[in-house]
Structure formats: structure tokens, C-alpha cells
Chain A
Amino acid sequence: MKGKTTITITIGLVCFILTAVMFMQFKTISQTDITALENMQESDLRAEISSLKEENDEMEIQIDSTTVTIAEYRQKIATNQTASGLLDQELAKANKLVGKSQVSGQGVVVTLTDTEDRTVTASDLIMILNELKMAGAEAISINDQRIVHKSYVAAINNGYISINGNRQVSPYVIKVIGDPLYLESGLSAKQYGYIDAKKAEGLQITLQRSENIVIGSYIGNDIEFKYVK
């Protein structure tokens, strides 16, 4: 009887140990990530290293080719930039020419003012514009209305003066960029010069040289061609 109890207890204990260890093993195997680096066998690690090396080599080749492509693109960008830089310069020049950008430089400022004897007429302004252009004016504005190729000075109903479609009143400040010497001498020739002639007619007119005249751009979007093809 005593022997049987011992056997029973021992067998139970043995079963307990066996199943406990087995379940521990099951759990370990099911929960362990065999692909994790710490759990790999040496041979697996070696295979992994060699495959990684291969991958590395391939990547390096890819890097080389990509670097070449990048260099090509850089070159292309550089040439594009020079091209667009030239275009920008061209555009800026064209804008200056047609009066679509603000310009500055040396020149003269002529001011025409109404007097009791005589008011400034459109033809006075047209005449001075002509005189200024003859004297080599490169950019002109009257009361900040930029004179461009299609600008006009008109007397509306013989009442007021319209420049570029905007009503203007005395005093008329004419800013001119050009050689100041030519401009001044062109306007102020003795007796037949514009200034003398208009002063004789009774207008108040002043002329002032300036080293830095700023002339704003043409205001409005109507410098586009509609009929010129």
C-alpha cells in the first residue's frame, strides 16, 4: 500500500514536470519570432549576411546610376537656368521699352502751369512731347501718366485735357529721362525755343535738371495688340 502511494505521487509528479516543460516549450516556440536577429542560428545569420551583402552591392550599383542621372539633370537645369536668365533679361528690356516697368535715370523735370492770361492746351503738351522726343528723351511721363507708344493727349470738349484717358489739370509736371544737356538745350533755344515761345505767350514754365528721376510704369492693361498680327 505504501509502495502504491509512492508510485502514484511520483507518477503524478513526473506527469506534472513533463507537461509543464512541454507547455513552456510550446509557448516559447509559438511566441518567439524566429526571424528576429537574436534568435537566429549562426548558419541563418551567415546566409542573412551574404544576402545583405548582395543587396548592398546592388544598391551601390543603383546609387551610381542614380548619381549619374542626377548629374545629368543638374546639367539640364543649369542650361535651362541660363536660357531662362536670358529670357528674363530680354523681358525686362522689352518691358522698359514699352513702358511696362518703372525706370529711373538722369533727366529734366519741366513744369507747365496755367496763368491768368493763358491756360495750358493739349497742343502745348503735344508740342513739348515732340520737342522732348526730338531732343532724345527715352522715357516721359506727364503728371505720372507714362507716355508709351499709344499714349495720347487730347482736349475733351475743349474743356479739359485727357492723357491716356485720364483727366489732368494744371500744373503739368513732365518728367523726362534722357541726356539733360540735350533736353535742356533743345527746349530752351533762344527766341524760337519752346520755353521762350511759351513764356512769351504767357505760360508759366520751369525746367529743372535732376540726377535721379523715377518714372512709374504705364497704368492699365491695354498695351496689348488687338489688330496687329
Chain B
Amino acid sequence: MILFSIVLGCLIGAIVGINAPLISYTYSSYLAIAIVAALDSVFGGIVSTQKGKFNLIVFISGFFGNAILAMLLAYLGEKLNVDIYLAAIVVFVGRMFTNLSLIRRYYIEKLEGYTKR
């Protein structure tokens, strides 16, 4: 059920995104940082699901909050002439790699459990 909703949401999202109007190149960097933040939240959500600690409120607030915060920080960096968005990317992508490794480990352990049995 959840898998179905994910696939459906992705499909509709892709169609809408392709047909959406162009964003000015100046703002596309903010959008990029928002995307990275959102992806980080998604991986974090997957990890917490595997651990059985998934909380919808935490996930949603992380998803939107991180994206908006990242954009705001990037904007602030622009104003301060400091490339804060680079720091945001480092943090988010670093966390993404950590989460990805956790996910990998989870599945490897699961696979090992199957083979032992």
C-alpha cells in the first residue's frame, strides 16, 4: 500500500515536474539545496523505518523544515558573501551517505539471517 502510494506519487510528480514552467537559473541553486535536504530526510525516514522508530511528524517536519532552512541558509550565505550552501550540502550529503550505509548494513544483516536459517 505504501509502496503503491510512493510509486504513484513519484509518477505524478515526474509528470507535473516535466510540465512545470522553467525556474530562473538564479533560484535553481536554492531549489537544488532544498532537494538535497529533502532527499536526506527521505533516507533518514527509511533508516528510522528499518529501526522501527518511524514518526510521521518528525519525518514531515524534517522534510519541509530542512528544505526551507537550507534555502534560507543559502540565501543568508548569499547576503553575507559566504558559501553557506556548500556547508549545507556537505552536511546533508554526509548524512545521506551515513544513512545509505545503515540501510545497506540492515539488508546485509537480514540476508545473513536468512542464510543462517
A residues adjacent to B (C-beta < 8 A):
3-4, 6-29, 31-32, 34, 38-39
Contact = CB atoms under 8 A, between A and B. Distances in A.
B25 interface: yes
Contacts, number: 96
Given A12-B5, A14-B9, A19-B13, A24 B42 contact: no
Interface residues of B, number: 30
Interface of B: 1-2, 5-6, 8-10, 12-14, 16-18, 20, 22-23, 25-26, 28, 31-32, 34-35, 38-39, 42, 56, 59-60, 63
A21 B17 contact: yes
Contacts of B60: 10, 14
Contacts of A29: 28
- The dominant DSSP class at the A interface is helix
Nearest to A31: B22
B39 A18 contact: yes
Of B9, B14, B31, the most chain A CB neighbours within 10 A belong to: B9
A13 B59 CA distance: 13
Contacts of B26: 39
Contacts of A24: 17, 20, 23, 31
A18 B20 contact: no
B28 A28 contact: yes
B73 to A, nearest CB: 18
